[in-house]
Amino acid sequence: WLDAAPTAPVLPPKGAMKARLSANENPYGPSPKALKAINDAAQEGYLYPFQYATQLRKMIAEQEGVAEEQVLLAPGSGSLLVAAAMHYSYAKPGGTIISADPTYEQLMRAAVQHGAKWEKVPLTAGNYDHNLAEMEKRIGDNTSMVYINNPNNPTGVTIDPVALRAFVDRVSAKKPVFADEAYIHYTSDPAKFSVIDNVKKGQNVLVARTFSKIYGMAGLRLGYLVGQPDTLAAISKWGGGPGGLTMTTIRAGLACYTDQDFIKYSLAKGLEAREYLYETLKTNGYTYLPSGTNFVLFPIRMKGEDFVAKMMSQGVSIRQWKFDGQYWCRVSLGTMPQMQAFAEGLKVIS
């Protein structure tokens, strides 16, 4: 959400936009079943949707193998990141949140606005992974929580699952761990990389998931948190719960959440675009970080702002970062014509 906010002019001259590859959206959603459900739901828009929200929560709990009280729904996972930020900021005034750097910043930025401190731990040299050892070392009395984004935005890098689970086992015994798994479906094996199992073991762990990525519902706004019931109850004082959800969105979620055909299709299309993007980058002499997400980060050979502007002049929006003394471009996975527009633009400007 915040991540989608532009850092540079995002609109090309009128009518010249070929591909918006700057906000990690998924052009293959909403699924056909979700679209039908939205239509049906609109006819019942005069009703409060609570019974459907209860049904969706139940469905998610069953699928994840947790109790219903261990699922908190909200309009997008971003609002849950903010609610958690507020909960932990006020539970421990002036406390520190530890995160990787760079990572997805929404939770920490919100926490800082509510008086928290933010301790950024640089990614590891060379492979740009979370530096779990260093993050663990920095945990102290004043730590209020540890934020992990797996796979990480903007790098796309996935954390080794064995190391991560061991880290969560140890750290959650001392401090709450928040795992943002927005992109987990784009990894090779979501169940293996997720730390929902740590929640099931009763640990002090929160897992955030979204319908904005694999389900292609960014505009419909739906996400959820999985965690311990008392923690979720405390966080829900700040946000989340069925009240902010619309009939149309809930019914769309119910229609696509376990639609394996659609999930497979959506993933296959994403992976096809990712492979094409890798080839495009190689052909143009670029390296890239191997991605477990619906975007790819690669080092560029000019100032980030110039790269953004030049790609925009080709009708393609992307995002730029600067870290480790290097400018980087992050490009989201779109349809094949959109990826081709990116490839053509890259060739012109390189």
Q: Which residues bind ligand PLP (CB under 6 A)?
A: 1, 3, 24, 76-78, 104, 149, 153, 180, 182, 210, 212, 218, 223
Cβ at position 156, least distance to ligand PLP in Å: 11
Q: Closer to ligand PLP at the Cβ: 12 or 216?
A: 216
Helices vs strands, H then E, count in the chain: 13, 12
For residue 179, what are the CA distances in angstroms to 138, 189, 206?
Answer: 18, 16, 6
Q: Closer to ligand PLP at the Cβ: 21 or 182?
A: 182
The CA distance from 55 to 149, in Å, is 28
Backbone angles phi, psi at 127, to 5 degrees: -110, 5
Cβ at position 46, least distance to ligand PLP in Å: 27
The CA distance from 72 to 181, in Å, is 15
Nearest by Cα to 118 from 135, 130, 133:
135
Q: Closer to ligand PLP at the Cβ: 64 or 180?
A: 180
Q: Closer to ligand PLP at the Cβ: 153 or 248?
A: 153
The CA distance from 42 to 47, in Å, is 10
Backbone angles phi, psi at 136, to 5 degrees: -65, -40
Nearest by Cα to 230 from 69, 58, 54, 67:
69
Q: What is the 3-state secondary structure (H, E, C) of 4-36?
A: HCCCCCCCCCCCCCCEECCCCCCCCCCCHHHHH
Q: Closer to ligand PLP at the Cβ: 77 or 158?
A: 77
Cβ at position 24, least distance to ligand PLP in Å: 5
The CA distance from 272 to 5, in Å, is 27
Cβ at position 249, least distance to ligand PLP in Å: 12
Cβ at position 22, least distance to ligand PLP in Å: 11
Cβ at position 332, least distance to ligand PLP in Å: 9
